[in-house]
Amino acid sequence: MPKTPTASSSPFPTASPRFQIFAPTAPGLESIAAGELKSLGVRGRQEIGGVAFDGDLDRIYQANLWLRTASRVVVRLGQFHASTFYELERRSKKLSWQDFLPENGSVEVRVTCRKSKLYHSDAVAERVLSVIAGVAPSGTEMKVGNLPDEEQEEYQEKGSSRQLFIVRIVHDQCEISADTSGELLHRRGYRKEVAKAPLRETLAAAMLLASGWDGWRGEPLLDPLCGSGTIPIEAALIARGIAPGLERDFQFMHWPTFNRDLWNDILEKARASVTNPTLDIVGADRDAGAIRAAMHNAERAGVGRDVRFLAESLSGSIAKIENVANGEGWILTNPPYGVRVGESEDLRDLYATLGNALKTKRGWRIGILTSDAVLAAQMRLPLRPRFSTSNGGIPVSFLVSEKAGRPGARSPKSGVGESASEN
């Protein structure tokens, strides 16, 4: 894959303060995000639900710009014991709130309390807001926010300077963080049109990075159930080395400590690192409306010329795959899960068709995101799990096959059953 700028290629300003930084991810994607940070020259520490690392403003900017699988990037302002409101207020007053408060904007505090003496989240939020109000610019709007569910969509109006602070109290240990991202990082800015059950961009990127697909060397990729095109578009962004945050704003741009010269330098280097390899990426869907949406989304992402979109059925799109010299390629897709009663029976033929596709494509591999091991078994392929997470609140696993026709490949009997036991 194209290399992203490393820490050494963009020296950190020595006068910049050091921060404890955390990049939350969907459960199961921590190791993938850690690998992304490593490509940036950053050693991350995997934790449940994300990756922690240390750094300065440069690293905050780089992480927001380049991370494809993280939900957001936050700065940990403080961690301390707080079993009373007095302790909470006393310790909160020592934090450097001023560095993160916009001149003209609002403040939102979201709180979760678990197994702690301070259990009333709204009361905790009000105490923290009162501390912030003492140092915030006059006229700053204060708001108690509700922490959204993991899969709930979050929207922040473009141009808004709402600063979010996240407070978590677990076993009387309080952690307070400042959001640096603004809108969640999966909002790249290109997906203005969606089809039915769209796949979040961060999850599509995780599938691509975990699969081993080598797109920048021209390895073919087909998503025969592409919907609004998220997997093919993310594939093209990865293959060309286009930073996912290149065309959007971030909350850190509203901080009084924002270093515009540093940010412009980072953006300039990111744009200069974009490559133009010959790509063979195809997205197909039987819904012509979805294909139109996918084409428009690809244009907005700057990869309209890098992805071919076909209004084709599943079997029709597979039949149109062009053979390449080395005969290798990938089918990566997010097929329907069959969550509703009776749907699984209807989807068995679809999964069987996906499995049959590889019987005529020697050297090809397939990766699917699925919630149903029984449906995946209809593919009659040996499948290995790369990660397990949730999509729209549904537990799912990303399963990858061996190369079709590969000597020594396991029999179909050993596929999904074994992979399920390894999760």
305 with 402, same domain: the answer is: yes
> Among 149, 179, 209, which residue terminates a domain?
179
312 vs 222: CA distance, rounded Å: 12
> Does pLDDT of 156 surpass 90?
no
92 vs 214: CA distance, rounded Å: 48
pLDDT of residue 319: 84
> Does pLDDT of 378 surpass 90?
yes
Mean pLDDT of the chain: 88
Cβ–Cβ < 8 Å for 297, 192: yes
165 with 301, same domain: the answer is: no
207 with 150, same domain: the answer is: no
Q: What is the pLDDT of residues 45-70, one digit of tens each?
A: 999 999 999 999 999 999 999 999 99
Q: Give the CATH number of the domain where residue 34 resides.
A: 3.30.2130.30
Overall domain count for the chain: 2
For residue 372, give its domain range: 201-244+276-422
Distances (CA, A) of 297 to 213, 285, 304, 311: 22, 15, 8, 15
212 with 160, same domain: the answer is: no
User: Does a structural domain hold residue 362?
Assistant: yes
Q: Which of 301, 247, 277, 243 is nearest to 10 (CA)?
A: 243
What does the DSSP 8-state code read for residue 330? Answer: E
Q: pLDDT over 70 for what percent of the chain? A: 86
Query: Where residue 100 falls among pLDDT bands split at 50, 70, 90?
Result: very high
136 with 228, same domain: the answer is: no
Q: What is the pLDDT of residues 302-341, one digit of tens each?
A: 999 999 999 999 989 988 775 544 578 999 999 998 765 4
Amino acid identity for residue 241 in this structure: G
**Residue entry with tokens 């991202």:** 181
User: Does a structural domain hold residue 68?
Assistant: yes
User: Does a structural domain hold residue 190?
Assistant: no
156 with 99, same domain: the answer is: yes
169 with 101, same domain: the answer is: yes
Q: Which of 369, 375, 383, 379 is nearest to 420 (CA)?
A: 383
123 with 218, same domain: the answer is: no
**pTM surpassing 0.75?**
yes
**Residue entry with tokens 């708001």:** 143
398 with 353, same domain: the answer is: yes
Query: Where residue 12 falls among pLDDT bands split at 50, 70, 90?
Result: very low
Q: How far is CA 40 from the centre of its chain?
A: 16
The residues that bridge with 174 in the sheet, in sequence order, are 80, 169
161 with 282, same domain: the answer is: no
321 with 373, same domain: the answer is: yes
User: Does a structural domain hold residue 262?
Assistant: no
What average pLDDT does the segment 264-279 reach? 97
> Does pLDDT of 238 surpass 70?
yes
Lowest mean pLDDT among 19-28, 352-361, 372-381: 352-361
Angle separating helix axes 30-39 and 201-211, nearest 10 degrees: 80
118 with 230, same domain: the answer is: no
